[in-house]
């Protein structure tokens, strides 16, 4: 009898097969499972930053319309089950076990046939498709794991493809230029399937436009066919007006913080409005309700006040730029204490170049990952970039790093945890206790 602990041990054990881009293994695995993905209506989302926020907003808008909606995202912050959600709830342990066992049987068949074993992400993706088919979802909001063209999720023909902002990340797999990375992300664009894109830098937008021409896909861009205007922005949320593909909306409100979320929200609305071309009704009031109710943990999320404690999933240069703008926007006059933990395979020097100049104090720590920089290595990197001689303390243990930060913070200060999703997930769990 399998337990959820057994299942997760076996799934995480697939990590030994590493990251191996390609669709052969996932296609074979899904074929043995009866190709569950072919019976699901999918909204497919790729990009470097903003995928999770945009996905969660699309999910929330569709649920506000009364649909049964699956949301597949990665990585998780606190518990594995977060990755596979149905109507806002994590997959139940018993469902996880049931569908994992089905996938494990299919793995045995692959082994008997002498087929190369799939990766962890491929196994989890197959499990998710199996679960969502079984639960008969109306829609699946499907977030790409990495890249797009060779990602395990790229076995679907979606109703709409969504591209969130593209920037540098995973260069060892996706390419060294923005054009190369954008080409990989645009691999999710299918023939004659409409595309909605967030605001993009010119190099990325050029590739998106070229791909849409090649595939004869209608392209809707935030900033052109979809335009928004900020009306109000404070710590309770942001109000804006939006002229989208089908409708004009006044006084929309989101509780997600950071100006970049306006582009994400506009992208989400555009993606849902495209569904009306398939005869799926889109109601303005439901769009507004869905946006307002959308939540996405770990993205400029305020966990505490007096002092303000914020966690943010910034784990690349573009994410750090967005974090910097948000911190200066909401907390310009306050003393800022950063607690940073970063993986060694990230471009951490350029990440630090963005964040160090706005910090009044920095505590370095170590995310719970074999790929993590030690707090001492990170401290040395910070000191090499700091011209202000700000205090820098290193502490590998995350719980102790939290304690140091909160002990150093006065009521009017702000403490910001950032640099890795592995770290902020741990911080979120500890602070919620």
pLDDT per residue as tens digits for the range 404-424: 999 999 999 999 999 998 899
Residue whose entry in the numeric block shows the structure tokens 């996938």: 103
Q: Which CATH architecture has domain 4-293?
A: 3-Layer(aba) Sandwich (3.40)
CB 152 within 8 A of CB 125: yes
* Residues 356, 382: Cα–Cα separation, whole Å: 7
Residue whose entry in the numeric block shows the structure tokens 């493809």: 161
* Residues 9, 4: Cα–Cα separation, whole Å: 9
Q: How many CA atoms lie within 13 A of 24 on its CB side?
A: 7
Q: Give Cα 305 distance to the centre of its chain.
A: 25
**Per-residue pLDDT tens listing for the chain (433 residues):** 899 999 999 999 887 666 777 899 999 999 999 999 999 999 999 999 899 999 999 999 999 999 999 999 998 999 999 999 999 999 999 999 999 999 999 999 999 999 999 999 999 999 999 999 999 999 999 999 988 899 999 999 999 999 999 987 766 667 679 999 999 999 999 999 999 999 999 999 999 999 999 999 999 999 999 999 999 999 999 999 999 999 999 999 999 999 999 999 999 999 999 999 999 999 999 999 999 999 999 999 999 999 999 999 898 898 999 999 999 999 999 999 999 999 988 889 999 999 999 999 999 999 988 889 999 999 999 998 877 789 999 999 999 999 999 999 999 999 999 999 889 999 999 998 7
CATH number of the structural domain 301-432: 3.90.190.20
- Residue 78: CB atoms within 10 A of its CB come to 15
* Residues 159, 411: Cα–Cα separation, whole Å: 49
* Residues 271, 46: Cα–Cα separation, whole Å: 13
pLDDT per residue as tens digits for the range 304-330: 999 999 999 898 898 999 999 999 999
Could you tell me the two tokens for 142?
């499907």
Q: Where do the domains of the chain lie?
A: 4-293, 301-432
* Residues 114, 261: Cα–Cα separation, whole Å: 47
pLDDT per residue as tens digits for the range 234-269: 999 999 999 999 999 999 999 999 999 999 999 999
Spatial CB neighbours of 170, under 8 Å, sequence gap ≥ 6: 146, 147, 181
* Residues 207, 204: Cα–Cα separation, whole Å: 5
The terminus-to-terminus CA distance of the chain in angstroms comes to: 32
Three-class DSSP category at 102: helix
pTM, whole model, 2 decimals? 0.94
- Residue 126: CB atoms within 10 A of its CB come to 28
Q: How does 297-308 read in b/e, with b if 16+ C-beta sit within 10 Å?
A: bbbbbebeeebb
Q: What's the DSSP call for residue 226?
A: B
């Amino acid at each position: 009898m399998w337990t959820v602990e057994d299942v997760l041990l076996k799934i995480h054990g697939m990590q030994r097969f590493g990251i191996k881009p390609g669709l052969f293994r996932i296609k074979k695995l899904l074929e043995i499972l009866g190709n569950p993905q072919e019976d699901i209506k999918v909204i497919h989302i790729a990009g470097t930053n903003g995928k999770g926020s945009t996905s969660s907003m699309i999910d929330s808008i569709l649920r506000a319309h009364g649909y049964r909606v699956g949301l597949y995202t990665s990585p998780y912050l606190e518990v594995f089950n977060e990755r596979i959600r149905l109507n806002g709830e994590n997959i139940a342990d018993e469902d996880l076990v049931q569908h994992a066992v089905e996938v494990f049987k299919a793995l045995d068949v692959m082994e008997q046939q002498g087929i190369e074993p799939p990766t962890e992400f491929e196994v989890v993706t197959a499990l998710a498709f199996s679960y969502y088919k079984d639960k008969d979802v109306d829609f699946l909001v499907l977030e790409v794991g990495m890249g797009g063209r060779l990602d395990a999720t790229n076995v679907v023909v979606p109703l709409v493809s969504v591209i969130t902002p593209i920037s540098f990340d995973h260069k060892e797999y996706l390419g060294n230029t923005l054009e190369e990375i954008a080409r990989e992300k645009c691999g999710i664009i299918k023939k004659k399937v409409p595309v909605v894109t967030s605001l993009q830098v010119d190099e990325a937008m050029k590739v998106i436009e070229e791909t849409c021409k090649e595939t004869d896909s209608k392209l809707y861009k935030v900033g052109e066919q979809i335009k928004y205007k900020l009306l109000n922005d404070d710590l309770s949320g942001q109000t804006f007006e939006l002229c989208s593909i089908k409708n004009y909306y006044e006084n929309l409100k989101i509780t997600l913080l950071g100006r970049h979320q306006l582009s994400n929200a506009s992208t989400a609305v555009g993606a849902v409005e495209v569904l009306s071309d398939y005869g799926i009704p889109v109601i303005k009031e439901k769009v507004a309700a869905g946006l307002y109710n959308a939540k996405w943990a770990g993205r400029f999320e305020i966990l505490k006040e007096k002092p303000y404690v914020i966690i943010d999933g910034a784990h690349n240069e573009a994410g750090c730029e967005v974090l910097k703008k948000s911190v200066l926007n909401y907390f310009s006059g306050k003393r800022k204490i950063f607690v940073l933990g970063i993986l060694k395979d990230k471009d951490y020097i350029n990440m630090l170049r963005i964040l160090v100049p706005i910090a009044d104090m920095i505590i370095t720590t170590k995310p719970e990952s074999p790929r993590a920089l030690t707090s001492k290595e990170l401290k040395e990197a910070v000191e090499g970039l700091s011209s202000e001689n700000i205090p820098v303390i290193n502490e590998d243990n995350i719980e102790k790093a939290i304690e140091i930060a909160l002990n150093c913070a006065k009521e009017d200060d702000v403490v910001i945890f950032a640099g890795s999703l592995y770290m902020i997930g741990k911080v979120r769990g500890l602070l919620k206790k």
